[in-house]
Structure 1
Amino acid sequence: MNVERILPQLLVGQNGLEIDSAQQWEELRRPELLELFAEHVYGRQPLQRPETMTFTAASQAGCLDGKAIRKSIHIDFSGENGGQGRIRLTLYVPADAAAGKKRYPAFLLFDHGRLSAVPEGDSPSSPFWPVEQILASGYAATMIAAEDIDPDEHDGFRNGVHGIFDPQDRPRAADAWGTIAAWAWGLSRAMDYLETDPDVDPARIAVIGHSRGGKTALWAGALDERIAMVVSNESGCTGAAVSRGKAGERVHQINKAFPHWFSENYKRYNHKEDELPVDQHLLLALIAPRLLYVSSAAEDEWADPVSEYLSLQLAEPVYRLFGADGVAAEPFPQLDSPLHTERCGYHVRAGQHDLTKVDWMYILGFANGRL
């Protein structure tokens, strides 16, 4: 879409102060932007780690012809409303981890219904979650599912963690958390567990999501600085793509199709993206100085690869504050020609909206030597 995009300034605070150091970013601008995104877009999480949360090893067994160990973990919690919740985390680690030889970096996939039930047998891999490919690249592979945190349906926020933790004695606030924020909260609870697993290096965990899962990974990564790398695959509107001047899906369309994903306040900006106090390049900048990878598909016009890449380019000034280059100087890349800088990466793959083994190959290639 050939339009002039007038975007919120990245390194100018609401008080007009120009941000010119990493310290100013961390102390002033970063908290300010998190507050703006929480108020106007994703909604506010009412709590972080529940006091009642526990971890239980449900099962552990060798698999993949002895090359890996599969762990099933239950993350249990309860709320003041009396409800109880459980997030089922599945973790595959290389077999030598059990011998205490190594703590592995890990890819944590947020699944939004593509996998549903994780296979119990020795062949869990799919193009969407190629466990064997991930393990062979030197990483642990772990996954949680959206439905365990908050089912992807609009029921007035009565199910999932909303029903467990939302106050019941007053009307729902306009800046209350939507489903994307609830899913991001669940990713942080998975991080709570992974910090305790003896086979995983908690300082080297990458969170990855596709489509709505990519939106979730980005918001989780912005909020939770324990996440060392964030991967957004074709997350599009209110994910990686700049909203102003975007082709394909726009704010009013996503709010109509998925009214439960974001805060009620976000609906004020239907057909009014230019009035938003934020845009998505500011979200990507909140990942800095950690690793950030954005991926697109050429035929995914609804997500708009050009706007996804532009957002990554526009986040570069914050990476520069931390002494790292971004991709701002690079033109939109050719198909299947991954672009890697020190802390940021991007590719646009031939094909349609999906997370494939080709995407994983490029993503793992970026992570190798960085994560």
Structure 2
Amino acid sequence: MISPLARKSFSLLFLLTLSFVFLAPTIAEAQKFVANYDESKIPDYQLPDPLVTQAGEAVTTPEQWRERRSVLVDLFEKHVYGVSPKPCPIRHSLVSCDENALGGKAVRREVDVFFGESDDAHSMRLLIYTPTKSTGASAAFVGLNFQGNHTIDPDPSISITESWVRDRRDDSTDGHRATAAGRGVAASRWPVETIIDRGYSLVTIYYGDIDPDFDDGFQNGIHGPLGSQLDDVPQVHRWGSIAAWAYGLSRALDYLETDSAIDATRVAVIGHSRLGKTSLWAGASDPRFAMVISNDSGCGGAALSRRAIGETIGRINTSFPHWFCDQYVKYNENENACPVDQHELLALIAPRPLYVASATEDQWADPKGEFMSATLADPVYRLLGTDGMGGKSLPDEMPAADQPIKSGRIGYHLRTGKHDLAKYDWEQYLDFADKHLTKKE
């Protein structure tokens, strides 16, 4: 027989369960993220000054900046992207070569680069185009792609990635596997022939070869085989996926230093969206990249986090908990507590050429915040003897759409259109590269 007390407890539990079932949607709805796009509702914030040390001392010389830079890199590692392993040795293997690609304009190669020298080392596949008319080693653009190397050009001889891919609704995937239907579907973002015609090489890698873009506890990709090198690093400070993708870009540059067709001292790293965040961190953490390009990188990329417009730290950590280090979660809806902000990331690239781009319909990525970051990095560029954004003074306001600023060492434009890597963007980047990556005779 059930006692009166037990019946009462059971009834209470039943009512609580029913309450949860019926109230759960309401609670979830109340917690649903609502982005702010109203400038008047930006919370009060104070930006850290890249030219002021943690002790409050002014940085006034290039020598002092070198010390300050080291501190900032450490802060970004421990609080944003995570600490990565030391560079591993690599080996490489030629997979294919077409000396008559693009109607004879280019040599196209596929090269596997291995993260380590063991037979079972993890690998990534580089798709490399070099211009046949080049009289020597050419400058190059290197960047990660979202859907596989086979998607940047319809050429049927480009291998289809065997790595995990995000399922799409265009028949280019089947159960997280890439299919032949995906050939060339991302060609609009990779104007290979235009790049070759301008005299540059192109190197691209499917980012999923390095680390799959889902929260798998870092069991796949390079985190597993290389993770043991971080046993002495607290868990909260260990690398996330963005740092892993950047690490892969640096190992690609290691390979390019052995490639006689490409001048590894004139390599621009480029990325769009989350891969724009990656190109910025790659450029900041590896000074060998000669130029850095951020296309619509937004929160965790070029946009100021403290503005909390569009995507925020809290929103990005909730949706993509694997991108950043665990420490970054402490700044969810608490941006002012973070010891760094993204203008300092851009400053870490100084004095090398930097280009930041936004799009008018991409308010989620906070174009104004991206532009502000570029202007706030300018003083560091000028301290190091460059002209920063060009001119004697900074622009008073954002440029109009399709009116690029590219006379100085820092370039910026706001393109008409949506979140994308478009032909217009590439035209500006190629012009910028002509100015800064042309080999001086």
| TM-score when normalising by structure 1 | 0.93
Aligned to 2:225: 164
Q: CA deviation at 1:116?
A: 5.7
Aligned to 2:121: 84
Q: CA deviation at 1:166?
A: 1.1
Q: What per-residue deviation string (whole Å, max 9, x for no partner) do you get for residues 231-253 of structure 1?
A: 00000001000001131000000
Identify the structure with the greater helix proportion.
2
Provide closer, same or farther for how the CA distance between residues 102 and 307 of structure 1 changes in structure 2, counting only shifts above 3 A: same
Identify the structure with the greater strand proportion.
1
What is the aligned counterpart of 1:22 among 52, 62, 71?
62
- Between stretches 316-325 and 185-194, larger displacement belongs to 316-325
What is the aligned counterpart of 1:278 among 340, 354, 372?
340
Aligned partner of 1:139: which letter? Y
- For the pair 1:112 / 2:146, whether they are aligned, the reply is yes
Distance 1:284 1:253 in 2: 22
Aligned to 2:28: none
| TM-score when normalising by structure 2 | 0.79
Q: CA deviation at 1:146?
A: 0.7
- For the pair 1:148 / 2:209, whether they are aligned, the reply is yes
Q: CA deviation at 1:114?
A: 6.5
Distance 1:227 1:168 in 2: 24
Distance 2:207 2:201 in 1: 20
CA contact (8 A) 1:79 1:164 kept: no
Distance 1:130 1:370 in 2: 20
- Between stretches 316-325 and 222-231, larger displacement belongs to 316-325
What is the aligned counterpart of 2:190 among 129, 153, 170?
129
Distance 1:195 1:59 in 2: 20
CA contact (8 A) 1:175 1:264 kept: yes
CA contact (8 A) 1:63 1:121 kept: no
Q: CA deviation at 1:83?
A: 5.9
CA contact (8 A) 2:112 2:124 kept: yes
Aligned to 1:35: 74
**Could you say what the CA RMSD is over the residues aligned between the two structures, in angstroms?**
2.1
SS of aligned partner of 2:136: coil
Aligned to 1:234: 296
Structure 1 or 2, whichever has the larger Rg, is 2
- Between stretches 65-74 and 276-285, larger displacement belongs to 65-74
What is the correspondence of 1:45-56 to structure 2 with a 5 Å cutoff?
45-48=84-87, 50-51=88-89, 53-56=90-93
Unaligned 5+ runs, structure 2: 1-38, 158-182
Aligned to 1:368: 434
Distance 1:148 1:263 in 2: 20
SS of aligned partner of 2:297: coil
Q: CA deviation at 1:223?
A: 0.7
Distance 1:218 1:90 in 2: 21
| Sequence identity percentage | 47
- For the pair 1:216 / 2:278, whether they are aligned, the reply is yes
Distance 1:341 1:246 in 2: 30
CA contact (8 A) 2:296 2:358 kept: yes
Distance 1:167 1:192 in 2: 22
